[in-house]
Structure formats: structure tokens, C-alpha cells
A and B are shown apart, each in its own frame.
Chain A
Amino acid sequence: NAGVTQTPKFRILKIGQSMTLQCTQDMNHNYMYWYRQDPGMGLKLIYYSVGAGITDKGEVPNGYNVSRSTTEDFPLRLELAAPSQTSVYFCASSTTGVEQFFGPGTRLTVL
């Protein structure tokens, strides 16, 4: 199993641009999550999903959108990127909603 994979690894955006961060898991996990980690800080939950077709807001959802059309994929969409969205983004998945497995992260810089 590849586990949780994320693309791209790095990206630089200009203010106002849009992009989609991709997350795929091959463990047939129902639960998937998106976190952001600012420098020197813990992880903050952006959005999560308990199954295909179901998504819910986390702690910091503003400026982001998600969709979950399949069990495997959970893309995160940034519309109108802002410097405050400069961060490392981690996707995670879980079979039970407790123990979470993290992807390698996407480092995003908005200039």
C-alpha cells in the first residue's frame, strides 16, 4: 500500500490564484482530513469527511473548499489565495475516526 499520498509537494502561488491540493489513500479508509500547520505550530483541522459524499467544516475552513466523490480521493481547493494561507498542508485518513495516518504534506507559499 502507498498509504496516503499528496500532490504537489511544493507550490508557489500568487495572491488571487486558485489551486487544488490532491490527496489519495489506498487503505479504503472512510475518514479523511485536511490540516494546515503554520511554522512552529500544531495542526489545525480545515475540513474532514466521514465517507464519500459527506464533508464537514473543521476549526479553520474559511478560504477553502473540499469534495469527496470517491472513498480514495479528498481534494482541497483554495480559491483566491492569500498570504495567510502560506502553510504546510497535511492530509490524513482513518478507518475508525481515531488513529489517523498522515500524508507527506504539501508546502504552499502565497506571494
Chain B
Amino acid sequence: GENVEQHPSTLSVQEGDSAVIKCTYSDSASNYFPWYKQELGKRPQLIIDIRSNVGEKKDQRIAVTLNKTAKHFSLHITETQPEDSAVYFCAASRNDMRFGAGTRLTVKP
């Protein structure tokens, strides 16, 4: 089955800096790659997603890039703010969704 690895497990940045989280996947047939943000004690919330026929997608301060050949995708957050502090999960899906282990992002004011 699909295996998703996510790095780093923790990331601390200064407010205003950029943050990058990377994921790799194993199943070349996976065709949907979402990113979820989860605040402490809350449900995961979809923040951005990308499909396998697209290389990059941007939504305001958040962007995701996908390299199908290398089987990796990344989340980029620019101009980070303290409210971006949360755990971020990547996932890869063909029929069922497999999640990475998460990255705890801390944005220091």
C-alpha cells in the first residue's frame, strides 16, 4: 500500500519567515495530494490540495508543489504569522487516503 513520509517533524520559524514542509510517497498511482492543518484538540482542516495533473497551486500565502517523477510534494507558507502555528499533515490518495506523521510548526512572534 501507499507509504507517506513527512519532514521535518518539528519546525520553528520567526514571524514573517517562510516555512517549507516536504512529503514523499511510494505509490506512483496516487493522484490527489491534500494538506491539512490541525490545531490542538481540533479536527483536521483542509488548507490546500493538488492533483497529479498539476505541478503547482497557490492560495494567498500558501503554495503546494508536486514532482511526480520524484514522487514528492511540498507545502510552502510565506510571511508566516503566529496563527499559522499548528500541526500540518500531508496525504496521498488513490482510492484511500494515507497520511504523513505530521509537522509541528511554531511561529515565534
Residues of A within 8 A of B (CB): 33, 40-45, 48, 58-59, 90, 97-105
Contacts and interface: CB of A to CB of B under 8 A. Distances in A.
**Interface residues on chain B, size class:** 20 to 34
A100 B97 contact: yes
A31 to B, nearest CB: 10
Interface of B: 1, 4, 6, 32, 34, 42-46, 49, 89, 93, 95-102
A42 B46 contact: no
Contact of A102 (B4, B44, B100, B101): B44
Given A42-B6, A45-B98, A90-B44, 10 more contacts: A33-B97, A41-B101, A42-B99, A43-B89, A43-B99, A48-B96, A59-B1, A98-B32, A99-B46, A99-B49
A100 B32 CA distance: 12
B32 to A, nearest CB: 5
Contacts of A102: 43-45
